[in-house]
């Protein structure tokens, strides 16, 4: 009997890493079968020696069953794929010799030492060696946090510090904030003002010319 292709592909996800169901489907040669991959992994008993625990949801979530999720998280922590309970994230990353950390929730990539790391969900953070590996795995540079204006000698302007990951020549992810709409020539209100202005000019001029005559 032929082994399930998704279960065969489990061995290609190495210890210390995780992959989504969609990624597992691609490894199995069936990129459009993420749901089938999920069903195959969910059917694997928790005591099975195959590394079913390295497969997570697209947002980094664990198994829906709490008992199975607890076993999954414990195994991921034992392999170094997730930070130990209560551990300092920066210290954990340094032990893993990682320069970046990926947040599965929105596929954001953070630099080691980023002040936002303690506020992130440690159960969905994965150590990544460098930015290049992060990009290959589908992560993107996290937008820079908004900083308050810092007084600069000789003026009141502020200076923004470049994100460490930008030094690798990577482009940051697009900012979710939309730009404010600036009224232009297509704005009906602007057209009306321009029309009224153009009409008033000639009339007032013609009156002055007739008065002069």
DSSP code string of the chain = -PPPHHHHHGGGS-TT--EEHHHHHHHTT-TT-HHHHHHHHHTS-TT-SS-GGGEE-TTS---SSHHHHHHHHHHHHHHTSSPPTT--HHHHHHHTT-SEEEETTTTEEEETT-TTGGGS-GGGEEEES-HHHHHHTT-EEPPPPP-----BTTBS---PPPPGGGGGTPPBPPPSSPPPPPP-TT-HHHHHHHHHHHHHHHHHHHHHHHHH-
From 79, 95, 119, the end of a domain falls on 79
- What would the mean pLDDT of 15-35 be, rounded to a whole number? 96
Name the pLDDT band for 138 (thresholds 50, 70, 90).
Answer: very high
Q: Are residues 64 and 88 both part of a single domain? A: no
- What would the mean pLDDT of 64-76 be, rounded to a whole number? 96
- What would the mean pLDDT of 176-188 be, rounded to a whole number? 39
Q: Are residues 88 and 166 both part of a single domain? A: yes
- How does pLDDT run across 93-104, given as a tens digit for each residue? 999 999 999 999
Q: Are residues 87 and 137 both part of a single domain? A: yes
Top pLDDT among 80 and 160 is at 80
From 51, 79, 107, the end of a domain falls on 79
Residue 47 belongs to a domain: yes
Residue 195 belongs to a domain: no
Give me the domain span that covers residue 65.
5-79
- What would the mean pLDDT of 100-129 be, rounded to a whole number? 94
Q: Are residues 109 and 50 both part of a single domain? A: no
Q: How many structural domains does the chain have? A: 2
Name the pLDDT band for 2 (thresholds 50, 70, 90).
Answer: low
Residue 198 belongs to a domain: no
């Amino acid at each position: 009997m032929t082994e399930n292709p998704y279960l065969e592909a489990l061995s290609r996800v190495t210890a210390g890493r995780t992959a989504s169901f969609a990624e597992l489907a691609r490894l199995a040669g069936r990129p459009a079968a993420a749901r089938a991959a999920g069903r195959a992994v969910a059917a694997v008993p928790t005591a099975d020696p195959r590394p079913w625990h390295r497969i997570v949801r697209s947002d980094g979530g664990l198994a829906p069953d709490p008992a199975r999720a607890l076993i999954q998280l414990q195994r991921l922590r034992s392999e170094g794929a997730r930070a130990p309970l209560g551990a300092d994230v920066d210290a954990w990353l340094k032990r893993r010799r990682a320069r970046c950390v990926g947040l599965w929730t929105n596929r954001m990539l953070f630099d080691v030492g980023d002040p936002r790391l303690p506020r992130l969900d440690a159960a969905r953070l994965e150590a990544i060696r460098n930015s290049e590996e992060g990009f290959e795995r589908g992560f993107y540079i996290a937008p820079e946090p908004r900083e308050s204006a810092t007084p600069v000698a000789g003026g009141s302007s502020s200076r923004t510090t470049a994100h460490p990951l930008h030094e690798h020549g990577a482009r940051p992810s697009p900012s979710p904030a939309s730009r404010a709409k600036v009224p232009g020539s297509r704005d009906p209100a602007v057209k009306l003002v321009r029309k009224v202005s153009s009409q008033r000019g000639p009339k007032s001029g013609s009156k002055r010319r007739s008065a002069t005559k």
